[in-house]
Amino acid sequence: MAGSIDRVTRAAADAGLDIEIRRMGASTRTAEEAAAQCGCTVAQIVKSLVFEGETSGKLFLFLVSGSNQLDLAKAAALAGELLKRADPRQIRDETGFAIGGVAPIGHLIAIPAFADETLLGFDRVWAAAGAHDAVFAAEPQAMIRAAQAVVAKLAV
What is the reported pLDDT for 110? Answer: 95
The letter for the amino acid at 11 is: A
Residue type, 74: K
| pLDDT tens per residue across span 15-47 | 999 999 999 877 777 888 888 888 899 999 999
Residue-wise burial string across 66-83, b where 16 or more C-beta atoms lie within 10 A, e elsewhere: bbbebbbebbbeebeeeb
Q: How is the chain split into domains, by residue range?
A: 2-152
Cα dihedral value 16, 90, 126, 120, nearest 10: 70
144 pLDDT band, cuts 50/70/90, is very high
Give pTM, 2 decimals: 0.94
Rounded CA-CA distance 69/66 in Å is 8
Does CATH place domain 2-152 in 3.90.960.10? Answer: yes
Sign of the Cα pseudo-torsion (16, 64, 131, 149, in order)? negative
